[in-house]
Amino acid sequence: MKIYIDADGCPVVDMAVKIAVKHNVPCIILCDTSHRIEKENVRTIVVDKGADSVDLRLVNLLEKGDIAITQDYGLAAMCLAKAAYVINQDGKEYTSDNISGLLEFRAIHKKIRRSGGHFKGMPKRTEVQNKAFEKSFDELVCHVTELFNGR
């Protein structure tokens, strides 16, 4: 079991690394050349800039039972297809039950933007969001670790 972080624009890298180290789970940060992120106790993989270059590399490394952190619905769907666990920066776990609706939501928003519509930007990140991620991610890592140790 490993933890993979889609780190470009990810506000919870430090929290995720701390939890990975706490549970002694290997952690890999993936970013492109414009977001080089180096942390102690984890491996960083830097890929060339390009549409979906980080996403494709992450999916190619991912194995069944690994955990991925991303806010990208498309990447989340690919990770789920590889039988991985996926969580976003707010602590929401992506599942086969919710991913279709999220992808549809994304497609509708894209259609609206293409026709000239605009959406409000993301509000400033709060401590409540950080705590929610920390709690959910720690619980997910514990759960997956127990599954692996029970094999």
Look at residue 101 in the predicted model and tell me its pLDDT: 65
Delimit the domains of the chain by residue range: 3-149
Determine the Cα–Cα distance for residues 139 and 151; give it in Å rounded to an integer.
19
* Token reading at 45: 């993989």
> Residue-wise pLDDT tens for the chain (151 aa)?
999 999 988 999 999 999 999 999 999 999 998 888 889 889 999 999 877 899 999 999 999 999 999 988 889 999 999 999 999 999 999 998 877 766 676 566 666 667 777 766 667 899 999 999 999 999 999 999 998 887 5
Q: Which of 11, 4, 8, 19 is nearest to 140 (CA)?
A: 19
Determine the Cα–Cα distance for residues 21 and 121; give it in Å rounded to an integer.
33
Look at residue 9 in the predicted model and tell me its pLDDT: 82
List phi, psi (to 5°) of 124.
-60, 140
CA 28 to each of CA 61, 132, 146: distance values in angstroms, whole numbers, following the listed order: 10, 22, 20
| Residue at 17: amino acid letter | V
pLDDT tens track for 108-151: 666 666 777 776 666 789 999 999 999 999 999 999 999 888 75
Q: How many helices and strands, by DSSP H and E, does the chain display? A: 5, 6
What is the CATH architecture of 3-149?
3-Layer(aba) Sandwich (3.40)
